[in-house]
């Protein structure tokens, strides 16, 4: 690691340690940052934004772990959308749920075998609805995010998602947008939106 990288990631650890003061110690925070970097760096095509993505991933893992352990109280229900690559269906479902819920739920997405980038046709289909994916990136499925979730929705990932007691599980039979045209992905988006809307109505009633 170069001296510049050491400084950047050292600052990142400092910031997260301050954010989670009284919840996690510096060693735990540093381990989360190192784990996020090991996960994301091999798949990063452009390394310029890697520290930003590492910070987001580490923060998500720390928050999920804190919620799962009861160190931080949940303010709203936690939804987790999972597909294989976290490049299409689960990204759309999470973005639509966040958009439609008006922050009455907290949403995460993950993949059992995440790829390098989100499907650009999926990004375009969401932008048509005024839903931008800001710096989207596929995220790995972890025990922390599974344990933190109240509702876990899987889409085409089979038995890759472990079952934890006390969770609500749904498996949605949704077409995979990989390799499809924008016209087809629009139909997939609308199918997911209908399912997300029904789920939110049930959860938030």
Which distant-in-sequence residues (6+ apart) come within 8 Å of 40 by Cβ?
50, 53, 54, 57, 137
Task: Determine contact, residues 99/133, Cβ cutoff 8 Å.
Answer: no
Q: How confident is the model at residue 2 (pLDDT cuts 50, 70, 90)?
A: low
Better pLDDT: 110 or 205 = 110
Q: What is the pLDDT of residue 157?
A: 79
Q: What is the pLDDT of residue 151?
A: 97
Q: How confident is the model at residue 178 (pLDDT cuts 50, 70, 90)?
A: very high
> Is the pLDDT reported for residue 1 higher than 60?
no
Q: How confident is the model at residue 45 (pLDDT cuts 50, 70, 90)?
A: low
Give the C-alpha distances (Å, rounded to integers) separating 177 from 1, 84, 114, 161: 38, 12, 15, 21
How much of the chain exceeds pLDDT 70, in percent? 94
3-state SS, the chain, equals CCHHHHHHHHHHHHHHHHHCCCCCCHHHHHHHHHHHHHHHHHHCCCHHHHHHHHHHHHHHHHHHHHHHCCCCCCCCCEEEEEECCCCCHHHHHHHHHHHHHCCCCEEEEEECCCCCCCCHHHHHHHHCCCCCCCCCCCCECCHHHHHHCCEEEEECCCCCCCCCCCCEEEECCCCCCCCCCHHHHHHHHHHHHHHHHHHHHHHHC
C-alpha 34/C-alpha 28 separation (Å) is: 10
Could you tell me the domains of the chain? 1-73 (1.10.8.1060), 75-205 (3.40.50.2300)
Mean pLDDT of the chain: 91
Q: What is the pLDDT of residue 30?
A: 95
C-alpha 169/C-alpha 139 separation (Å) is: 20
pLDDT in tens, 116-170: 899 999 999 999 999 988 767 899 899 999 999 999 999 987 666 778 888 999 9
User: What is the mean pLDDT of the segment spanning 97-116?
Assistant: 93
Q: What is the pLDDT of residue 159?
A: 67
Task: Determine contact, residues 55/63, Cβ cutoff 8 Å.
Answer: no
User: What is the mean pLDDT of the segment spanning 167-181?
Assistant: 95
Q: What is the pLDDT of residue 156?
A: 87
**How many Cβ atoms sit within 10 Å of the Cβ of residue 72?**
16
> Is the pLDDT reported for residue 79 higher than 60?
yes
- Name the pTM for this structure: 0.85
Q: How confident is the model at residue 4 (pLDDT cuts 50, 70, 90)?
A: low
């Amino acid at each position: 690691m170069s001296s510049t990288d050491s400084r950047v990631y050292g600052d990142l650890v400092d910031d997260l340690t301050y954010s989670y003061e009284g919840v996690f110690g510096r060693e735990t925070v540093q381990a989360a940052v190192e784990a996020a970097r090991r996960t994301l760096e091999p798949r990063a095509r452009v390394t310029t934004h890697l520290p930003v993505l590492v910070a987001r991933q580490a923060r998500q893992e720390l928050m999920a772990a804190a919620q799962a352990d009861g160190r931080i109280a949940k303010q709203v229900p936690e939804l987790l959308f999972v597909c294989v690559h976290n490049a299409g269906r689960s990204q759309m479902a999470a973005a639509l749920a966040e958009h439609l819920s008006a922050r009455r739920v907290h949403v995460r997405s993950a993949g059992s075998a995440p790829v390098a980038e989100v499907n650009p046709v999926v990004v375009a289909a969401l932008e048509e609805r005024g839903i931008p994916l800001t710096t989207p990136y596929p995220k790995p499925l972890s025990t922390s995010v599974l344990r933190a979730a109240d509702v876990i929705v899987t889409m085409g990932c089979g038995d890759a998602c472990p079952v934890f007691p006390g969770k609500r599980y749904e498996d949605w039979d949704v077409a995979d947008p990989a390799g499809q045209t924008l016209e087809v992905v629009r139909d997939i988006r609308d199918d997911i939106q209908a399912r997300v809307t029904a789920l939110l109505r049930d959860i938030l009633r």
